[in-house]
A = this chain, B = another copy of it.
């Protein structure tokens, strides 16, 4: 079984690739929930939703998140009422949040709710939230402390980042199935997701990093940085503002304590020795996934190395 640790848009690209080349019961995905937010009384799990919408073929191909051809009648009406409307909520997407929130209120765990949603949407892979606890990531910036989504969406990533806070994380546990999946895996892949806001929240769940050290399976990270730029989102901006070189080596260093392999883009081949010096095996590949074929190709390339 292959385990993929994934954030949202970037991570779901590789997850889609894996899903096309592995039988569904051979793929477990541990999704980031650090970007979860409560908006309008609804519990929203953007990364989990991006993963389920992607795996069920419903995702908006233009944005990589949300539902394709969704309408925004409710959001527009909320704006007219003077209600908070900065968070993009499509009408169909809203159904997911309403149903999740109701089930959570009725005492179901996020793991169970996620499984229910997967089943309704026809997603057969094993999608697990990293934890059942609500542990929203906050961003400390030059404009104060913001919820991650306020930083990403409302402030369009403009404030300068100083640090990240994974709230309530100290009391969280890995969700049921997470430890079992990692320990039983043939390989664990860290998808090309933002290290600060997608991977670190997963790694910050108490016990999770130790599982990655303890598992017999190789743990392999796919670079989210190619030629000094992020595949998607503000990873490069964050690296820079926090004083790290904007390159794959910085990423490899973050995971050095548990990493066996690092997938470097062929365009960055000159960094191979620098990363190998960290005692990490380097695999080169074309990591830019624009088409579905690219995603399948990368997934196949990664599986070949095992």
Contacts and interface: CB of A to CB of B under 8 A. Distances in A.
Interface string A85-118: 0000011111110110110010000000000110
Given A41-B41, A82-B120, A120-B80, A73 B98 contact: no
B91 A73 contact: yes
A293 interface: no
Contact of A71 (B80, B91, B93, B117): B91
Interface in A59-101: 70-71, 73-78, 80-83, 90-96, 98-99, 101
Nearest to A41: B102
Contacts of A70: 73
Chain A contact residues: helix, strand, loop or mixed: helix
Contacts of A90: 73
A269 interface: no
A117 B83 CA distance: 10
Contacts of A117: 81
Given A73-B70, A81-B120, A82-B120, A41 B96 contact: no
Question: Which among A73, A90, A93 has the greatest number of chain B C-beta atoms within 10 A?
Answer: A73
Contact of A95 (B83, B98, B105): B83
A40 interface: yes
A96 B81 contact: yes
9 contacts: A40-B102, A41-B98, A74-B91, A77-B92, A81-B96, A82-B116, A83-B98, A83-B102, A94-B94
A92 B81 CA distance: 10
Contacts of A94: 74, 77, 94
Contacts of A76: 92
A121 B81 CA distance: 7
A99 B81 CA distance: 8
The 6 closest A-B pairs by CB, nearest first: A77-B95, A73-B91, A77-B92, A83-B99, A78-B95, A74-B91
